[in-house]
Each structure stands twice: as structure tokens, then as C-alpha cells.
Amino acid sequence: MSSIDVEQPSTITEIEEPPSTASYHFSLPVLTSSPADTPRPPAETPIELSEPSRMSRRFRSPPQSRAFLKRFFPQATTADWNDWRWQSRNRIRTLAQVEKMLVLSDDERQAMVQGGSLLPIGITPYYMSLLDARNANQPLRRTVIPATGEFVRTPGEADDPLGEDGHSPTPGLVHRYPDRVLLLAHDFCSTYCRYCTRSRVVGHGEILPNETRLKKAFEYIRQTPAIRDVLISGGDPLALSEVKLDWILGELRSIPHIEFIRIGTKMPAVLPQRITPQLCRILRKYHPLWMSVHFLHPDECTPEANQACSRLADAGIPLGAQTVLLKGVNDDVQVMKELNHKLLLMRVRPYYLYQCDPISGSSHFRTSVQAGLDILEGLRGHTTGYAVPTYVIDAPGGGGKIPLLPNYVVGREGDDLLLRNFEGGVFRYPDPQ
Ligand code: SF4
């Protein structure tokens, strides 16, 4: 048996801040009291709406972050804490580190000792500070701490459920739809989500941001005029240096038929300190540039996440949230409503609610499809329309996103369509055939 304790070594040589190759400085004090004593933000902590929208240079560190820092990184300063590179270098990656910060359940410990998961452990100190030290069922904790459910295989699951590997004309480029491509910038994420659709790829150190690979991808795009839209994802593209991002975006913008560039990232949720004024200055050079930000739960909508999203929005980047529906994490109308309300306050439009892909070892996370429809039913008409995302299943095998809606058309009488509203009332709409 091996323990999940070491991220796959990376041979990244081109980026300035390859977090997985940085020398690893980590010191933990001997605990003198329970980790549970670490102050936690109450679930209903309101977002600081007074947050200035101007780009202040510093992130504010709430008291619970400072307490976590003092306890587990006593030699570090708040300036270190607010430095995304420090956060990347000091990610929590081993069982020994995790169990000094959390009281592990038997299941969590067994999963980490057993190893064999496709996905390494990686958690930024910032995100770790949001976890409940004693409650293994806390939603955020379930998404980043392994469980033995990862080793259970059920029918219909696959390592590559979306069939991306079969649509890859050149390494790290997925061309599944005629007019758009997915460019995997690299396979590194600052925090690894246990339900990741690309767990077969991320954290393995095999997709590198080297120029040779990327130039082949750019060449394919350049030679394919039908492509008008590029989604840069990964791994998390914003884990790259500004220099590398500037180069990638510049290359894409130099291709005349590329109209639209999108970046998919979880940084505002797991490492909001990454959204620096300097990064925003680079990004805003390449408009129209849109961003899909990955949020799961209202507890991720912290003042720091708010500040990160404000910076991106102030840089003119439209923000849409992508949320994966996960059992025991956010499969509840009230949780989803609170999340979507907080996202709107952070100037992020809830965009997609994804049914969890049937990746290998995901059955403990997957809900029924009816659970997703019930959430949609509980949102539409009961809150602001902007707070209602599109619920989709990404069809296994590469069939693309298929939207799902509760059934609001209840029948027809002659030339009238019978429609059900959010309160269950039936209304007629003239629809002559
Ligand atoms: S941030 Fe995205 S790509 Fe990275 S582990 Fe999480 S879901 Fe996967």
C-alpha cells in the first residue's frame, strides 16, 4: 500500500513559478490546543459590500486567516499569506501535513493511506483555512480531502467520460465542436478537486506549458479557420506566470479568425490572492476575454474571493460561474440559492450547473438527475432570473452539453398551450398550429 503523499513531480522548466518544483518550506508547530479552536467564519458571514471596487494592492486578511497563519505557519507574515506564490509553494500535499491541521475520519485516513487515486492531494493554505478541522462532512472539506469512495467503480464510469482524448488533434488541444477548441494550458492546479473531470490528467506533470507543445496547438488553430472561440483551461491557466499568459494570449489574439477567448479557472475560490493588479493588466489587453470561474458553495464566497472577482470585473472581464452539483455539498435548494445570490453580489453570473460527470470513482459525489431538476424548480421564479444557471449534462462520449429543465409545458388544448408556472398555476398561451 502506498500513501497519497507526493504530487507527481513536474518537469516544468519554462514558467517562472512552477509551484510543484519550488523548494518546499513547510513548518508546523506542535499543537497546543485543538485545531477546532481555530476560529471559523460563520456560514452566514455576509460579503463585505463596502469592498472598494478600485484595485487596492493588498488583500484583506480576515481574523480567521490570521489565526490559521499564526498557528500553522508561525514564521510567515501576512504579506506572505497574501502572496500567491507563497500560497502555491506552501500547498498542503501529504497525509502528515493534513492530519496536523484536521482531525481525520477513519474513512479519510484510509483513503489517504490506501492511495492509488488518479488525483494527488493539493490544497492551498488559504483554502485549508476554510475547512472545518473536525467535521469530515463539511461541504468544502469533502471536495478536497480524499474519501474511500474514490476507489469504488460503478457501471458507466470512465476515466475520460467526455471522450476528450479522442478529439485531440495535437497534445493538450481538444477540438470537439466545429467552431471552438479547448486548450489545456498545463495540468497543474493549486488545489485539486476530488470530483475533477480531468483527474486522469491534472496533477500528473505530463501536460506542460512548454513552447513546443503550445506552438503546435497554435499552428493547428491557425490552420483551422472554422475555429472562432478558444477556451483556455487545464489545470488552472492562472497558475501560470504573467509572462507565459501574456505570450499565450498574444499568440491567440494574433490569429485573425479567433474572435473570442475564454479562461476557465478556480483561482478566485481557492487562491484569490492570485488575482493581482498586474495579472489584471495583462488580461485586459486581450479583450474580448471572458472568464468561467468555478465556485461550488457559499462558504467559498469570502471577502478575498469577492475582492478577486471585483478586480477581474473592474478589468472588464465578464464572469460566469460554473458549479458542479455534488451530493452532500450543494445538492440543496437553499444552499444553491445562497451560492448564486453571493455570486451575483460578487458580480459573477451563475452560468452552468453541471450534473457531475461519471468519472471513475465519482459515485459518492453524484446525485440523481431529479435532484438537479428539483433545484432548478426551486430557483426559477423564486429568485432573480440572473441567479438561475443552466442545468446541463455533458453527454458521455463527447455528445456535448445537453440542457435540462423541469417540465413547464403540461399539455395543449386546441390552439392553446398549457403552461405551468413556478407556483403550480396553469396558464394558456395562444399557439395556433
Ligand atoms: S480546479 Fe478544475 S481542473 Fe483543477 S482539479 Fe479542480 S476541477 Fe479539476
Q: Tens digit of pLDDT for each residue in 216-232?
A: 999 999 999 999 999 99
Of 142, 196, 266, 274, which is the active-site residue? 196
Q: Which of 127, 236, 296, 356 to mutate to test the pocket of ligand 1 (most atoms within 8 A of CB)?
A: 236
Of 176, 213, 216, 349, which is the active-site residue? 176
Residues across the chain: 433
Q: By C-alpha distance, which of 232, 235, 257, 258 is closest to 246?
A: 232
The CA 69 to ligand 1 mean position distance, Å, reads: 25
Q: Which of 140, 198, 324 to mutate to test the pocket of ligand 1 (most atoms within 8 A of CB)?
A: 198
Ligand 1 neighbourhood includes 72 CB (under 6 angstroms): no
Closest-CA residue, ligand 1 atom 7, reads: 196
Of 127, 187, 357, 366, which is the active-site residue? 357
User: Which pLDDT belongs to residue 117?
Assistant: 67
Q: Catalytic site residue 357?
A: yes
Neighbouring residues of 71: CB distance < 8 A, sequence distance ≥ 6: 29, 31, 35, 38
pLDDT in tens, 117-139: 678 999 999 999 999 999 999 99
User: Which pLDDT belongs to residue 199?
Assistant: 86
Provide the Cα torsion 94, 96, 102, 105; round to 10°. Answer: 90
Grid cell 479562461 is found at 263
Structural contact between residues 167 and 181, judged by C-beta atoms closer than 8 angstroms = no
User: Which pLDDT belongs to residue 59?
Assistant: 79
Ligand 1 neighbourhood includes 193 CB (under 6 angstroms): yes
DSSP 267-325: HHHH-GGG--HHHHHHHGGG-SEEEEEE--SGGG--HHHHHHHHHHHHTT--EEEEEEE
pLDDT in tens, 305-338: 999 999 999 999 999 999 999 999 999 999 999 9
Q: What is the rounded average pLDDT of the residues 401-413?
A: 96
Structural contact between residues 261 and 251, judged by C-beta atoms closer than 8 angstroms = no
pLDDT higher than threshold 70 for residue 1 = no
DSSP 350-417: EEEEEEPP-BTT-TTTPPPHHHHHHHHHHHBTTB-GGG-PEEEEEETTTTEEEEE----EEEEETTEE
Ligand 1 neighbourhood includes 194 CB (under 6 angstroms): no
Ligand 1 neighbourhood includes 123 CB (under 6 angstroms): no
Q: What is the rounded average pLDDT of the residues 161-177?
A: 88
Closest-CA residue, ligand 1 atom 6, reads: 193
Q: What is the rounded average pLDDT of the residues 259-286?
A: 98
Q: How many other β-carbons are positioned within 10 Å of the β-carbon of residue 140?
A: 19
Structural contact between residues 260 and 230, judged by C-beta atoms closer than 8 angstroms = yes
For residue 189, the ligand 1 atom closest to its alpha carbon is 4
User: Which pLDDT belongs to residue 38?
Assistant: 39
- CA distance linking residue 115 with residue 110, whole number of Å: 8
Ligand 1 neighbourhood includes 198 CB (under 6 angstroms): yes
Grid cell 505570450 is found at 247
The CA 196 to ligand 1 mean position distance, Å, reads: 5
pLDDT in tens, 89-106: 999 999 999 999 999 999
> What is the band of 11 on the pLDDT scale with cuts at 50, 70, 90?
very low
Mean pLDDT of the chain: 87
3-state helix, strand, coil in the chain (%, to 5): 35, 15, 50
**All three cell numbers of 295:** 465556485
Give the H or E element holding residue 220: helix 211-222
More confident residue, 164 or 339: 339
Rg (CA), the chain: 22
- CA distance linking residue 226 with residue 258, whole number of Å: 9
Q: Catalytic site residue 177?
A: yes
Q: What is the rounded average pLDDT of the residues 281-301?
A: 98
Contacts 24+ apart (CB under 8 A), 407-410: none
**All three cell numbers of 187:** 495540468
> What is the band of 57 on the pLDDT scale with cuts at 50, 70, 90?
low
The CA 315 to ligand 1 mean position distance, Å, reads: 24
Strand residue runs (E) in 86-172: none
CATH 3.30.9.10 for the 165-404 domain, yes or no: no
Q: Which of 266, 293, 296 to mutate to test the pocket of ligand 1 (most atoms within 8 A of CB)?
A: 266
pLDDT higher than threshold 70 for residue 162 = yes
More confident residue, 75 or 50: 75
Q: State percent of the chain over pLDDT 70.
A: 86
pLDDT higher than threshold 70 for residue 297 = yes
User: Which pLDDT belongs to residue 398?
Assistant: 81
Q: Catalytic site residue 216?
A: no
**All three cell numbers of 212:** 513546443
Q: What is the rounded average pLDDT of the residues 157-184?
A: 90
Contacts 24+ apart (CB under 8 A), 168-176: 169/220, 170/213, 170/216, 170/217, 170/219, 170/220, 171/207, 171/213, 171/216, 171/217, 172/207, 172/213, 172/214, 172/217, 173/216, 173/217, 173/220, 173/221, 175/220, 175/224, 175/227, 176/398, 176/400
pTM of the model: 0.87
User: Which pLDDT belongs to residue 198?
Assistant: 87
Q: Catalytic site residue 180?
A: yes
Domain boundaries, the chain: 165-404, 405-433
The CA 248 to ligand 1 mean position distance, Å, reads: 20
Q: Catalytic site residue 401?
A: yes
Sign of CA dihedral 261, 215, 208, 18: negative
User: Which pLDDT belongs to residue 56?
Assistant: 56
pLDDT in tens, 351-400: 999 999 999 999 999 999 999 999 999 999 999 999 999 999 999 888 88
> What is the band of 17 on the pLDDT scale with cuts at 50, 70, 90?
very low
- CA distance linking residue 365 with residue 327, whole number of Å: 5
Q: Which of 294, 295, 296, 297 to mutate to test the pocket of ligand 1 (most atoms within 8 A of CB)?
A: 294
